[in-house]
Amino acid sequence: AAKQLGCNQYSYFTPGIREEAHLRHMLMRDLSNARGQRQFRLYYQPIVDMQSGRMLKAEALLRWLHPEHGLISPDDFLPFAEDSGLIISIGDWVFNEAARQVAQWRTLYVSDFRVSVNVSPAQFQAPSLRPTDWLASLQRLGLPGESVVIEITEKLIMNAAASVGEKLLQFRDAGVRVAVDDFGTGYSSLTYLKKFDIDYIKIDRSFVNNLATNLDDRAVCEAIIMMAHKLGMKVVAEGVETAEQCKLLVEMGCDLGQGYLFSRPLTSERFTELLRGPLATPEQVQTH
Ligand code: C2E
Ligand code: MG
Ligand code: MG
Ligand code: MG
């Protein structure tokens, strides 16, 4: 995704072997200064109601605007952030920035707008991630819990650690919604989805990719949608790129869609234009 957004970002990541240790060292140094230097940006990608065409949600996606290397995508630096523990501070920034932004959008444009925030397993399990801190931020902004969705992974909910369940419960008790990201790539069981009272399942884009030609993938999507609905959960299809994929998903009863067909991730400025303009109204977002 971010590959289209920046030009110089590869310089960090395709070094000769000799330079690798050096570059890694510089990356860590730069990463630890990035928050203080205000180099992080959140991009927002619309999540569209596939039946009505309305855009009621957005996923916040982190980018690092490096002064020399340009826009760096999360897959390229989050692993380092996780290893070093920097993910906690970065994740706090992400949450607070997304909350600040959704508060503004709710006040100015769409009163029930929601923003979805990714939380990686290492981040969620860290003792220093405290739901009470995040909930206090929402309260300060006058936001109800339901204005935020946290996206976790199957891997996390399969971790039986009591602390994981306890944290999820704290969020849920405050009305925060929970989505399971990249669903189908891990190995979660239905029991866990029920136990944690998950609100949304996001079908991984690897199943959506070949929907038009691959009958197995189609069957997987159908089964996930049916199961999710039986369990009272809504389904988001990730990586919807073509009208044909969209049409098939609508026919299967998929609730929500996200992908390049609707929009790429946008800067907050561009996303605000989208909310201000005709795209926020039902007729204009093309889902068929
Ligand atoms: P994800 O949560 O599964 O996010 C969806 C990814 O798919 C995003 O990549 C998005 O740009 C990309 N995408 C959206 N629509 C399409 C499409 O139609 N086709 C294709 N090929 N790709 C599409 P991105 O922004 O590079 O993020 C990658 C991953 O990094 C995310 O996957 C998420 O796991 C992680 N991430 C992003 N932001 C954060 C963050 O703030 N905190 C944490 N912990 N993780 C984050
Ligand atoms: Mg996500
Ligand atoms: Mg995903
Ligand atoms: Mg992912």
Ligand nearest to the CA of 120: 1
In eight-state DSSP terms, residue 23 is: H
**Residue 196: its pLDDT value, please?**
87
Distance (angstroms) between ligand 2 centre and the Cα of 181 equals: 5
Q: Which two tokens stand for residue 210?
A: 């070949």
Of residues 278 and 271, more confidence is placed in 271
- pLDDT tens profile 180-204: 999 988 777 777 888 888 999 999 9
Contact 124, 164 (CB under 8 A): yes
Distance (angstroms) between ligand 3 centre and the Cα of 159 equals: 19
The residue length of the chain stands at 288
Distance (angstroms) between ligand 1 centre and the Cα of 44 equals: 10
Residue 288 has pLDDT above 80, yes or no: no
Q: Which residue minimizes the CA distance to atom 17 of ligand 1?
A: 239
Mean pLDDT estimate for the chain: 89
41, 47, 118: which to mutate for ligand 1, most atoms within 8 A of CB?
118
Reported pTM = 0.91
Q: Which residues pair with 235 in a beta bridge?
A: 201
**Residue 131: its pLDDT value, please?**
96
Q: Which residue minimizes the CA distance to atom 42 of ligand 1?
A: 118
Q: State the complex-level ipTM.
A: 0.98
Contact 251, 212 (CB under 8 A): no
The helix or strand, by DSSP H or E, that contains position 42, with its residue range, turns out to be: strand 40-49
- pLDDT tens profile 216-266: 999 999 999 999 999 999 999 999 999 999 999 999 999 999 999 999 999
Residues 161 and 95: their CA atoms lie apart, in Å, by 23
